[in-house]
A and B are shown apart, each in its own frame.
Chain A
Amino acid sequence: MDASSRAATTSPRDLVRFDAVQRAAHWTTALLFAVLVVTAIPLYFGSLVGLVLPRFTVEQVHLWAGVSLPVPLVLSLPGPWGARMRRDLRRINVWRREEVEWLTTRGRTSLTADKFNPAQKLNAIFVGALSTVMLGTGIILKWFAYFPLSWRVGSTFVHDLVAWLLTVVIVGHVVMALRHREALSSMLRGRVSEQWAATNAPRWWREEVGEPSETATGE
């Protein structure tokens, strides 16, 4: 692979994968999500109610953590500090044809991975969309007086079901992070080695080190 051999010959340096704003947004969101899961358990399994805190307190904590969930992402987007986050969101949104094919053939076609591979992108979209659904249904459950009763029953159904889905996806995310330590450390310290970038995200690596990408045009 020419990418990694090239990385080996040039002096290895670190690349910024996530800046401080992105890391702060990620970990605040992760904390809020953990609070949501922990408080959801006694709310969902009624028999556990009141073991630690009264239900009302648990409910309030869950509510405020839920309403705050989009805040870190929203705050990380505008202004000069949001440049990297905006660029990464664009990467997640816009796919090249080869990325779609890689995903639909489950990795059997060749791919020059961007900063995030298609599975990572799909994961981000999935978590973003499902969190939005959780927020929407949560709002209907809390401010129920403005919605018909059938919506509230439907919202409970969707909120419970999607909570399971989302938890499974997030557990998968954590497992992947633990299995890919350098990727995990980039969410802690912000940087990855050029070697890592050349191997795992060659397209992004070329972009960062200022080499013209051979697939950037003529698609």
Chain B
Amino acid sequence: MRVTNGPAGEGIRVGRRVFIALAAAGALGVTVGASAQRGLANALGSGLGGLLPGGDRFRLYSISGQYPVISDSRYRLAVTGLVDRPTTFTLADLEALPSTSLVRAFQCVTGWRVPDVHWEGVRLSQLLDVVGVRGEARALTFESYDGVDTESLTLDQARRPDVIVAYRMLGARVTTEHGGPVRLYVAPMYGYKSLKWLSAIRVVRDVQPGFWERNGYPVNGWLDGSTGATDAASPA
């Protein structure tokens, strides 16, 4: 800091200067923080980087305050509503359908982001083809084994190739903490749309806002594409 005094005896406004400098550094961090975080995460790796603020790591949320534990053998996914053949899938049923793999980021609406996550499962559109969607259907409602979380997608959104019912994640089975054995993964939208512990899909006439939408998040949680251009939403 340069000591350039004002008129004799008036003193230096150090407070104002330091305050403005720190606030400006904060603002700069907001604008370049996304790339700084990526650089830092690469430098630190997943070990230390997993604990420090810059690290790429999942932050595990649970609305109900606990993680529902469902064994692979007892897992069931009921697809009902405006369909020709209401069906209950076991995990084996899902795995028997053609699988799709994606390597895409998980972007939380609160700002954290985990790049290059491996996902594997059945395209939602494939499940819908199995059960046969009726003409008047326009939307889907998703339910979770946690008994609280619900989600919604329009039928058009659900038919995108990057929307899957995932049973593998990060190169292994989806763990309980991450919503296993089966969760939704909606790649072009914020993480809250990727409902965990998927228990039921109902095909309905209109979109019914899910848990997070009723708590203020947008019903259509599109990533706006201003970061991570490589895996930003591309129109279907």
Contacts and interface: CB of A to CB of B under 8 A. Distances in A.
A165 to B, nearest CB: 10
A55 interface: yes
Contacts of A100: 1, 3, 12, 14
Given A56-B63, A101-B3, A140-B30, A148 B37 contact: no
A96 B11 contact: yes
Contacts of A132: 19, 23, 26
Contacts of A140: 30
Nearest to B38: A153
Interface string B29-63: 11111101100000000000000011000111111
A95 to B, nearest CB: 4
Interface stretch (B96-104, B105-113, B159-167, B197-205): B105-113
Contacts of A50: 62, 64-66
B15 A133 contact: no
B29 A161 contact: yes
B9 interface: yes
A158 B109 contact: no
A99 B23 CA distance: 23
B20 to A, nearest CB: 8
A219 interface: yes
Given A149-B225, A218-B9, A156 B112 contact: yes
A11 to B, nearest CB: 32
A47 B60 contact: yes
A145 interface: yes
A92 B53 contact: no
B8 interface: yes
Given A46-B60, A97-B5, A157 B54 contact: yes
A53 B12 CA distance: 48
Given A97-B3, A97-B5, A126-B18, A154 B33 contact: yes
A65 interface: no
A149 B60 contact: no
A101 B11 CA distance: 13
Contact of A125 (B12, B19, B66): B19
Given A122-B18, A129-B19, A94 B59 contact: no
B188 to A, nearest CB: 13
A81 interface: no
B73 interface: no
Nearest to A136: B26
Contacts of A56: 63, 215
Contacts of B10: 94
A21 interface: no
Interface of A: 44, 46-47, 49-51, 53-56, 89, 92-97, 99-101, 104, 121-122, 124-126, 128-130, 132-133, 136-137, 140-141, 144-145, 148-164, 216-219
21 contacts: A46-B58, A50-B64, A54-B64, A55-B62, A92-B15, A100-B1, A125-B15, A133-B23, A136-B26, A137-B30, A144-B111, A149-B223, A150-B31, A151-B31, A153-B37, A153-B112, A153-B227, A156-B111, A156-B112, A157-B111, A161-B53
Given A50-B65, A141-B110, A157-B29, 7 more contacts: A46-B59, A95-B13, A101-B3, A129-B18, A154-B30, A154-B33, A219-B5
Q: 10 tightest A-B contacts by CB?
A: A154-B33, A156-B111, A50-B65, A160-B53, A93-B15, A133-B26, A129-B22, A157-B33, A46-B60, A158-B29
